[in-house]
Amino acid sequence: MHGRVKVRTTEEEKARKEKEKQEKLKVFKHAMQKIWDKRKKEELDLELMELTGKVLTSNPDIYTLWNIRREILNIFRKDMESEGQQLVDLYDAELRLTEYCLKINPKSYCAWHQREWVLTTRSNPDWKTELALCNKYLKFDERNFHTWDYRRFVISQCKPSLKEEFDYTTEKLLDNFSNYSAWHYRSKILVDLHPDLEAGRPIEDEHHKHELKMVESAAFTDPDDTSAWFYQRWLLGAVKTTVDLVVCTISPLKTTVAFNEPVSKDYVQMTTNLLINDVSVNGEWLPCEGKKYNNVWIFKHNEIIGDNLDIKVEYNRENDDKLIILCIQKNSLYIGRNNISFQRKYSEPVIEELKKQLDSCRQLLTMEPDNKWTLLTTTFLLHCINAKHYHNEVIDILKTLQIKDKMHAGYYGDLITKWSIELQLEDDYRNEELELKVKFAEKISSLPHLHYYSFCENVNLFNQNLTSRVLSTLSVLQHCKKLSLENNNLTTLKGFPSLNLEELNLRGNKDLDMKEVEIFKQQNNYNVIF
């Protein structure tokens, strides 16, 4: 009828779109073929720039075309002795092209990278314009991590006031707390803007407290949003950490030292000195785990280790603080242990703030008892305030989370293992235990801090939930003679390290292949029980 707009049927619309698609595909293929032909003939000229530009305006993510454009621009740059107006115009055109492409796809890795390349290649980049561009795109989408990454690049070049950038993250977070990128960027600025230089902590106390309060407000605004909880987790980990020597072990066969953090060979050589009867021993440090940075290092020397020797290790800590560890003879070993503690050390003002946040979490749980993020944060707050005092409560909450959040049950199990091992380790070192045996009820699923037990000759990991993925970590047990992995969940022995064992117990690992075990027995000269 006259006066009415004709509405296409579904089939007509589908056919029309298919026809348009085929026409675009035909044009695209023709353009790409022409580009490949010119590329093959090495005709790297302005015409090729125009061809690639037309294709990229339709699809900015063909990285090969951006590579071709960079190659052409490099040729022009080499042909011109100085950066003349023609080259400046080409750079400006390239920036306009990337900006157009970013309007099509603001998350185009290729377009952002090309823009970065142009600005670092040309001699007169306008960083203020780039910062304004970041502001513009973050107004469109304040959570676009590509723009935040590019902003960090721009800031690294023009170096504006850190305070201004910090305030900018505050502005964006007040607009929308659910912004992982803004929280992450804020964390990078915070440690540079407000370090605690006197106490050696990453963040000055007042600002640490302020950030904790801010993130608490964000988390309680929307308890189901994860971004603020993750930032709070980072804040809880922002404590002073130092590398320290934890245990030295000297036997007639081998000498090892273990550190709380992985260290390099150069670090060990500069900081660690073995003395026998007050005479410094020469030798070579070898990596236990075969990496550049290792927790355990083996000291190869030619000294004969007998009874009744005076053995000690000198360790030069930071700030010229020298630690002397006396090694006491225990059977055939000389063992020297440092005082250890896994309790995070916060200032009193920060501890008070953590206690307030713990009270807030407990209040929130009365209203939303099943909120997993509040439950998990409660465990971290308890652990940070006093890990030993609240240990049982922490374990109970983590067990509850394993039931309520089955998808992440393995993660909660690993936390139970890690925090339980840390508590046991402090007792074992204090009581000068000589063997490793799990003394708590919960079965372990991993082997955190195993290097602290590198001195043990007897390691009993009977009846746990260990799988074959932990086998490679056993390499730190350089003095172990008797190792029990009985009643675990091993499925293969691939990755088992070379150890000077006398006995290995593999009973009860039902999924181990008998043939593989037999081959393993033939390859090793110690008693394998299976």
Asked if domains 245-337 and 348-418 share a fold, the reply is no
Q: Compute CA distances 436 → 109, 447, 462, whole Å.
A: 50, 11, 11
134-143 per-position pLDDT tens digit = 999 999 899 9
| Average pLDDT of the residues of the chain | 90
Instruction: Give the C-alpha separation, 357 to 388, whole Å.
Output: 19
What does the pLDDT look like over 26-38, one tens digit per residue?
A: 888 888 898 888 8
Which pair of tokens denotes residue 137?
Answer: 């795109």
Determine the Cα–Cα distance for residues 314 and 280; give it in Å rounded to an integer: 10
Domain range list for the chain:
245-337, 348-418, 435-529
Q: Does the pLDDT of residue 2 top 50, yes or no?
A: no
Q: Which residue has the tokens 């993660």?
A: 411
194-251: pLDDT as tens digits? 887 766 678 888 888 888 888 888 877 887 888 888 888 888 887 878 899 999 999 9
Please give the C-alpha separations between residue 26 and each of 19, 22, 41, 57, 63, in angstroms, as whole numbers.
11, 6, 23, 16, 21
Sign for the CA dihedral angle at 234, 238, 242, 245 comes to negative
Token pair of 178 as six digits: 């659910």
Count H helices, E strands: the chain?
Answer: 17, 14
pLDDT of 205: 84
pLDDT at 507 over 50: yes
Cα separation, 53 vs 47, whole angstroms: 10
Return the CATH number of 348-418, one of 1.25.40, 3.30.70, 1.10.3470, 1.10.287. 1.25.40
Could you tell me which residue, 260 or 345, shows the higher pLDDT? 260
Q: Is the pLDDT reported for residue 145 higher than 80?
A: yes
Distances (CA, A) of 389 to 193, 424, 440: 34, 13, 16
Q: Residue 263 pLDDT more than 50?
A: yes
Rounded to whole angstroms, how far apart are CA atoms 251 and 332?
6
Q: Give, for 37, the enclosing helix (H) or strand (E).
A: helix 10-40
Average pLDDT over residues 295-319: 93
Q: Please, how many CA atoms are within 13 Å of residue 65, restricted to the half-sphere of its CB? A: 25
pTM of this prediction?
0.81
Q: Which CATH architecture has domain 245-337?
A: Sandwich (2.60)
Q: What is the pLDDT of residue 1?
A: 42
